[in-house]
Amino acid sequence: MKKEELCRRAREIRENSYSPYSGFRVGAALLTKSGKVYSGVNIENASFSPTICAERSAFAAAISAGEREFEAIAVCGGENAFPPCGVCRQVMSEFCGPDFKVFVLSENDCREYTLGELLPEAFGKENMRG
């Protein structure tokens, strides 16, 4: 799958966002190594803590379907491009290496990063003792 197609899907799915409090719609399209794409949107909650980001929503869908290997994710938040939050970066690092591609989109732009650039010195399985 081409980067452009993954980015298009992220832009389209953001319309399904449930964001009545912030009005900030975010969509994500996650490409697995098997070639499947899983979508996610941000889902807000009145108490805010249970809110889930689009990136984690996409990972949850893919993991629930049995996927464990991922190629790239495209994230679109609208007019301005913004990278995934720290919690989403940490979730990505559980399943993806530092070369995992992260496409950060605005309505007219696409920036490309690796997870290693966005989360250097990630805390991972190798840091666990026991």
Low-confidence ranges of the chain (pLDDT < 50): none
pLDDT at 130: 54
pLDDT at 79: 83
pLDDT at 54: 97
Active centre residues (catalytic): 55
| pLDDT, tens digit (0-9, with 9 covering 90-100), for 33-69 | 999 999 999 999 999 889 999 999 999 999 999 999 9
pLDDT at 107: 80
Token reading at 106: 């605005």
